[in-house]
Structure 1
């Protein structure tokens, strides 16, 4: 029997029974949908990769512990895990995206998500490119701190250690970077919206 024709539930059972290849088939089968869903929420390739990997680490742990009981609903279950990890990511970074405020998870929200997000994706991509270009106009020390904080998600303690300055100096540089960035945005008459 060809693996493409095997149902998810059968593959899950095979994986639980120790057949590692079954998980690989499941990942390959659903990778595109799960990856696209995560990317549509975080809009960053590196973060998407991290969340995708974390999703399957959680899937593997749950399956290995024998705690999987979503018989026949593998994809919605994995999507729910990915959805929760995306929320965790934004909570950790104190930036919550606009999720629908319902407690139940609907797979149709995910599937219909891709159609109208191409335009949004292009607009956001352009805004990100504009912001990155503006960041390049900052003084070097401010630009360095801003990139470490925003793009590398480093703490001010880590930034201070890596740049060999005090935490207060790192905080000050970040503050001036944001002030100067606002001035540059006003000079260029750029309107950054989140709609």
Structure 2
């Protein structure tokens, strides 16, 4: 199936007669990317599904206000990122759970998940990511998994390219240390 350009999706969305078609095109184009972006942050499949739905509801409600001063996917990623961070913060604040216990709980969810089918090295990498602060994990995921350029990440997170490069570098070092801790070799 041919990939539809964002400009065409927006043009169809602004026309009342083709609005639903446009939204279906948008979901087809971005749902999987957004799912994996969120999934790498919140780990749990069911939570991710709920958040993806919330993200696209927000996109639907606010797409008319989209100013076209950024790329559409950047805008959607920003919404997905904010929803994920809000969700994680709520999870941390529920019952006053300390940050390290949230990471442990997410790691246990990952280990028990029937949706995770990775090998030992992949599991160790995912666990290493969970020890990172949210911002470093987010930057690492966007750069490593989503293959986004620093300028694109900057547009999503509203952070300077230099700060993003530093966050990514620190995240990589922490991941390397974690992976080498138990003699996991690549």
| Larger RCO (CA under 8 A, 6+ residues apart) | 2
Q: Which has the larger radius of gyration?
A: 1
TM-score where L is the length of structure 1: 0.48
Q: Which has the higher helix share?
A: 2
